[in-house]
Copies of this chain bind each other. A is one copy, B any other.
């Protein structure tokens, strides 16, 4: 077996050295009737070529984003990732290393985490960022728990523009931990009165911008109201690239910012792995979940980096920890950091403008399809269409025509009574031909 270096002779020699007769002598603590004697009902070993065939066949049954006019977003976005990124993250020293608990031989990981934290803080306009969470949705869940800790209150208010998956994650967690959640109704046109929902029991209010419908939200007044009531504003986003073009939550009064970082450096991957971004104001740093990398010096006075403030964490604090998180999204952070380094703010801003321009062009083109209404006013690279038909059926019909035309909102929230809404995203990968194909197909489907 190609992965196992021991030969039968090795095994015999080693058993002798250990002083037992047979391998199962080492499994003596397993109750005899529980020790398996027959192989499990699974196929035997396969060579590389066979594995490639099996998985290649499965992969071939999926329609890839690059192979069709593609406009699917709603929390994950198709962007072009430079080849440098994937090359570097596959380097043995990054790919096959562990959490940097031995900092002397993990400065590579630690320095990029420090760079990552700095980048995320800059992007969000916040004081500090951690070394990542699993994804945007779990980061949002952790943010609510953190707000509860900070405020010592247990009621979260969720905007109706929050991605329903994010809301579900928060609600599940809150239900389990015995906290309360007030979720405002779905809000396609961003005209909800979230301010009215904030009271003195509120620990936090969670608002997403761009919201799930694509609307850009001004958080300033919500922050003021929240702060006036002793509550925190948690700002969320699912498209980090928007921060190249729109005002960051930190500049609008957010106390905690969470979001999905997938768009920078990471592939779609059918939903994961992604990278959750988590940033906060300096004063809350000791209540943050997750790993933090900090600067220090070594015994010779040279600058170096270590994981720090670990007394917040589960491996030290156990049941008093700020979170149970252990593994995070290390390698996805690295991908993020490399891509962001390549971009720099100049590249990020330009790329964001390309995204926005493509989305504007698409919105204008789709608005010309009879029966279609673009209901999103201010947006980044995603907006909502109101259709004269059931959006889910339209999406299926578009797929039959070779266009992946977006996400029916009803797929995210079947009970929201928004079956005619279609979320449509456009990024730098879309061409004029893609847009024309979408318009033509939509006309046919609706016609």
Contact = CB atoms under 8 A, between A and B. Distances in A.
A435 to B, nearest CB: 16
A83 interface: yes
A42 interface: no
Report how many copies the assembly holds. Answer: 2
Contacts of A90: 87
Contacts of A23: none
Given A90-B87, A342-B2, A80 B429 contact: no
A196 interface: no
Interface residues of A, number: 14
Nearest to A90: B87
A92 B82 CA distance: 17
Contacts of A179: none
Nearest to A82: B48
Contacts of A92: 91
Contacts of A82: 48
Interface in A115-172: none
Contact of A49 (B48, B49, B342, B428): B428
A49 B91 contact: no
B49 A83 contact: no
Given A87-B90, A90-B87, A91-B91, A429 B49 contact: yes
B49 A80 contact: yes
A412 B92 CA distance: 44
Nearest to A56: B66
A90 B83 CA distance: 13
Interface string A2-37: 100000000000000000000000000000000000
A48 B83 contact: yes
A90 B80 CA distance: 21
Interface string A79-91: 0101100010011
A87 B86 CA distance: 12
Interface string A176-218: 0000000000000000000000000000000000000000000
Interface in A85-120: 87, 90-92
A82 B52 CA distance: 10
Contacts of A428: 49
A83 B49 CA distance: 10
A59 B268 CA distance: 24
Given A2-B342, A48-B83, A49-B80, 8 more contacts: A48-B80, A48-B82, A49-B428, A49-B429, A52-B80, A87-B90, A91-B91, A91-B92
11 contacts: A2-B342, A48-B80, A48-B82, A48-B83, A49-B80, A49-B428, A49-B429, A52-B80, A87-B90, A91-B91, A91-B92
Interface of A: 2, 48-49, 52, 80, 82-83, 87, 90-92, 342, 428-429
